[in-house]
Chain A
Amino acid sequence: EPEVTQTPSHQVTQMGQEVILRCVPISNHLYFYWYRQILGQKVEFLVSFYNNEISEKSEIFDDQFSVERPDGSNFTLKIRSTKLEDSAMYFCASMGSGDQPQHFGDGTRLSIL
C-alpha cells in the first residue's frame, strides 16, 4: 500500500537555525498538509496546500514558516530562525480527493537546542 514518507525521522538543530522537513506524499494525491504535535499535546493543523498554493493556514503558521512543492514528488516545510518552542513532532499528510481520509507519514521529531 502506498505510504507517505518523511525525512529525517529526527532532526536536532540549534536555536536560530533554519530547518527543512521533507515529505514525499502518495503519488496520485492532490492535497497536502502539515501538522505538528508538541509533546503531551494534541495534533495541531499548520497548513494545507493544493494546486501549488496554500489553501488554508492556522495562526501557528506565521512568517517563520513556509511550504513548497519544488518538484512533482516532494513537499517541504521550512522553518526559519527556529525557536525552542518549535520542538515538536511534525506530520505530513496527503489526500487524494475531498471526501477521502488523509494519509499520514511517521513524522519528523524536531528538537531545538
Chain B
Amino acid sequence: AQSVTQLDSHVSVSEGTPVLLRCNYSSSYSPSLFWYVQHPNKGLQLLLKYTSAATLVKGINGFEAEFKKSETSFHLTKPSAHMSDAAEYFCVVSRWNTGNQFYFGTGTSLTVIP
C-alpha cells in the first residue's frame, strides 16, 4: 500500500527566507514521488518528480526535493521564499503497477509574509 503524510498543515515564512515543506511516504515498492502546487481556484501544477533517478530533484520556480530512502522522506525546499509561492502544496506517491493511481497527502498551506 502507498500513502504520504505531510507533517505540517500550515507553514508560514517571511519573504526571502528558506521554505521547508515536509513529506514522508509509505510504499511497498519503489515509489514515484511528486510535488504539486495549487494556487487558489486553479488546478494542480507539477513542481517536480522523483522516479528512481537522481535523489536530489530540481523543479520549477527554484524548488527542489531530496529523496531519502532511509528516512522515507521527500521534503520540498526553496532557499528564498517569494510572495508568489503562497499556495497549497501536495506531496504525491504512486507506483506504476497500481495503474499509476496517485495517493495525495493532505496538503500544506504555505503563507509568505512580506
Contacts of A4 in B (CB 8 A): 43
Interface contact A102-B43, CB-CB below 8 Å: no
A98 and B42 contacting across the interface, CB-CB below 8 Å: no
Residues on A with beta carbons closer than 8 Å to the beta carbon of B36: 104
One of A37-45, A63-71, A72-80 contacting the partner: A37-45
Interface segment among B62-70, B79-87, B95-103: the answer is B95-103
| B49-A101 in contact (CB<8A) | yes
Q: Give the complex CA separation of A44 and B28 in angstroms.
A: 20
- Is residue B56 within 8 Å, beta carbon to beta carbon, of the partner chain? no
Is B42 in contact with A99, judged by CB distance below 8 angstroms? no
- A52 at interface, CB cutoff 8 A: no
Q: Using a CB-CB cutoff of 8 Å, which residues 15-47 of chain B contact chain A?
A: 32, 34, 36, 41-46
**In the complex, chain A residues whose CB is within 8 Å of the CB of B43:** 4, 6, 91, 104-107
What class of interface size applies to chain A in its complex with B? 20 to 34
- The A-B contact count (CB < 8 A) is 56
State whether the Cβ of B77 lies closer than 8 Å to any Cβ in chain A.
no
CB-CB under 8 A for A101 and B34, given A50-B99, A95-B100: yes
Cα distance, A55 to B96, chains bound together (Å): 12
Residues in B45-79 with C-beta less than 8 Å from chain A: 45-46, 49, 51
A56 in contact with B98 (CB, 8 Å): yes
User: CB within 8 A of A45: which of B42, B45, B51, B102?
Assistant: B102
Residues A1-36 near B (CB distance < 8 A)? 4, 6, 31, 33, 35
Give B contacts to A, CB under 8 Å. Answer: 32, 34, 36, 41-46, 49, 51, 90, 96, 98-107
Nearest first, the 8 closest Cβ-Cβ pairs linking A and B are A106-B43, A56-B99, A104-B44, A43-B104, A98-B96, A55-B99, A104-B43, A48-B99
Pick 27 A–B contacts, CB within 8 A, sort by A: A4-B43, A6-B43, A31-B100, A33-B102, A35-B104, A41-B106, A42-B104, A42-B105, A42-B106, A43-B102, A43-B104, A48-B101, A56-B99, A56-B101, A58-B101, A91-B44, A93-B44, A93-B102, A99-B32, A101-B46, A101-B49, A103-B46, A104-B36, A104-B44, A104-B45, A106-B43, A107-B43
